[in-house]
Amino acid sequence: MENITSRKNRLIRHYRALAADGEYRREQGEFLCEGEKLLGEALAAGAEIRSVLYRGREDGPEIPGAAMYCAPEELFSYASPLENSPGPLFAVAIPRDGGRSAPDRVLILENVQDPGNVGTVLRTAAALGTDLVVLTGACADPYNPKTVRATMGAVFRQPLARWGREELTGRLKDWALPLYGAALGPGAERIGDVCLARAAVAVGNEGRGLTPELLALCRGRVVIPMAPGNESLNAAVAAAIFMWEMAKAGQRE
């Protein structure tokens, strides 16, 4: 295990860039994670861990295939995006897009910009057995450290894709999956009146909802009934309700 002592060290600079820069993450094909729990989740899921940095001089367990480092507390804190983290920090390879070749239940997020919402959706999708989550438009980076923490380890298990509208449309056509938009409007149906056993549901931006362009691709609009005086739900909460309904419908098939 190599002991790092300088802020100019290549790994320290690399970790700081992974934490701060989404484009750099995509170029390197890696994202940064933190903590013993997430490390355990990554190992259990068979994620490709490329390097690990431990806090202090105590050696941690060796991880096959990963470069192992340690750093004094001050330097570790400099590298970490989280204040007062006990560590470790570790870099994981970004998995390839996808999941099942022909998914039955797909949840689409369009322009959902809050990392906590995106992370919560991934966590819920993994829990409910959603076949695929697709991010389209200006969604928060799923590999941003804030998003990763919100997933509570689901980032290593939940199939995920990031596609533009054209690719998304082509995939849904190939899979013969009907697309529904979570939106108010003429002809909108209550969620309980639509069969979501094999379907894709799109949830939009926290403030503006789905774009007209994506709504134009939808077979129909679906709404969650609410008490009078309430107009909308948090995007992650709405997504959770739709994924729950998809899971229930799939069990009845």
> 204, 111 in Cβ contact below 8 A?
yes
100 found inside a domain? no
Task: Output the domain CATH number for residue 52.
Answer: 3.30.1330.30
**Whether 112 and 169 share a structural domain:** yes
**Whether 81 and 140 share a structural domain:** no
Q: What pLDDT was estimated at residue 184?
A: 80
Q: What pLDDT was estimated at residue 58?
A: 66
**Whether 89 and 114 share a structural domain:** no
Poorest-pLDDT segment among 87-91, 125-129, 201-205, 225-229: 225-229
Average pLDDT over residues 91-103: 85
CA 1 – CA 9 distance, rounded (Å): 15
Top pLDDT among 35 and 206 is at 35
98 found inside a domain? no
Q: How many domains does the chain have?
A: 2
**Mind listing the pLDDT tens digit for each residue in 141-194?**
999 999 999 999 999 999 999 999 999 999 999 999 999 999 887 788 889 898
**Whether residue 57 has pLDDT greater than 70:** no
Top pLDDT among 123 and 87 is at 123
**Whether 146 and 232 share a structural domain:** yes
**Whether 89 and 110 share a structural domain:** no
At which of 60, 93, 126 does a domain end?
Answer: 93
| pTM score | 0.91
**Region of residue 98 (phi > 0: left; psi between -120 and 50: alpha; otherwise: beta):** left
**Whether residue 253 has pLDDT greater than 80:** no
Q: What pLDDT was estimated at residue 176?
A: 94
Q: What are phi and psi of 68, to 5 degrees?
A: -110, 135
At which of 66, 93, 120 does a domain end?
Answer: 93
**Whether 72 and 149 share a structural domain:** no
Q: What pLDDT was estimated at residue 186?
A: 77
At which of 45, 63, 93 does a domain end?
Answer: 93
**Whether 213 and 234 share a structural domain:** yes
114 found inside a domain? yes
Task: Output the domain CATH number for residue 210.
Answer: 3.40.1280.10
**Whether 74 and 175 share a structural domain:** no
Poorest-pLDDT segment among 45-49, 116-120, 228-232: 228-232
Any idea which residue has 């330097």 for tokens?
75
Top pLDDT among 134 and 84 is at 134
Average pLDDT over residues 118-145: 96
**Whether 15 and 68 share a structural domain:** yes
**Whether 88 and 109 share a structural domain:** no
Structural domain that includes position 80: 2-93
Q: What pLDDT was estimated at residue 46?
A: 94
Q: What pLDDT was estimated at residue 99?
A: 63
**Whether 227 and 113 share a structural domain:** yes
Tokens of 41: 């989740």
Cis-peptide into 81, omega within 30 deg:
no
Poorest-pLDDT segment among 64-68, 218-222, 224-228: 224-228
**Whether residue 87 has pLDDT greater than 80:** yes
240 found inside a domain? yes
79 found inside a domain? yes
pLDDT band at 59 (very low <50, low <70, confident <90, very high): low
99 found inside a domain? no
